[in-house]
Amino acid sequence: MLACYSSIRAFIYTPEAGMQTIKALDDDQNIGNEDYDGGSSYGYSINSSGQVTGISSVDGTDHAFLYTPNKGSIKLAIGSSSTGYGINDSGKVVGEFSVREFLGYNRITETPGAFLYTPGKGMQDLKNLIDPSSGITLAAAYDINNADQIVAQGTNGRAYLLSPTPEPEIYATMLIGLSLMALRRKKLSARKK
């Protein structure tokens, strides 16, 4: 499979189906529109299921999208604008966003950020998922692998590898499992004596 763009539309190519166009997001419904709507779409990454992420522009507004075959596209909106750069096989998407703030006549400031989209959880600003004491401010996330490791860039221009840590519930489940295994082992040892 190949995800790319031609002229103004992202597309997927497979030998079986040929070229399939990914429509620009419909601003009202967040679903790809069948007719040309004046927007554009660009595909930047594809996973093994044929899901694509990238950027779709409608009426001058750019937003990341997640396209799923036979379902269409959904808008991944965070901030004033966003772009999806990487997707893994579980459908998690990473990218960049910016928040525009109007400070008065001809004065605009834009603050960059990195996002993670997780199916079922939605959009998250990656700054809320890293240790605040690290002092790192992320500007963008460019890829995510199947182990959920994320390649990101800080506002200082440095590259970072973000690796997930288990949630506290996972530690509790592991502790219970290990305790049960130890108890069973103890009982088996007692029977042998």
For tokens 């893994």, name the residue.
88
**Is residue 169's pLDDT more than 60?**
no
User: Mean pLDDT of all residues in the chain?
Assistant: 79
Residue 33 sits at the vertex; the CA angle it makes with 28 and 39, to the nearest 5 degrees, is 80
pLDDT digits (tens, 9 = 90+) for 92-132: 999 999 887 777 777 777 788 999 999 999 999 998 888 88
Q: How far apart are CA 123 and CA 120, in angstroms?
A: 10
Q: Which residue has the higher pLDDT, 185 or 170?
A: 185
Q: How far apart are CA 70 and CA 68, in angstroms?
A: 6
Q: How far apart are CA 49 and CA 22, in angstroms?
A: 15
- Phi and psi of 24, rounded to 5°? -70, 155
pLDDT digits (tens, 9 = 90+) for 127-154: 888 888 888 889 999 999 999 999 999 9
All residues at 6 or more sequence positions from 157 whose CB lies less than 8 Å from its CB, including other chains: none
Q: Which helix (H) or strand (E) holds 11?
A: strand 9-14
All residues at 6 or more sequence positions from 42 whose CB lies less than 8 Å from its CB, including other chains: 5, 10, 54, 55, 56
pLDDT digits (tens, 9 = 90+) for 33-90: 444 455 778 889 999 999 999 988 876 778 899 999 888 888 887 778 899 999 999 9
Beta bridge partners of 161: 151
User: Which amino acid would we find at residue 100?
Assistant: R
For tokens 């031609």, name the residue.
6
Tokens (6 digits) for 71:
């379902």
**Is residue 167's pLDDT more than 80?**
no
Q: pTM score, two decimals? A: 0.73
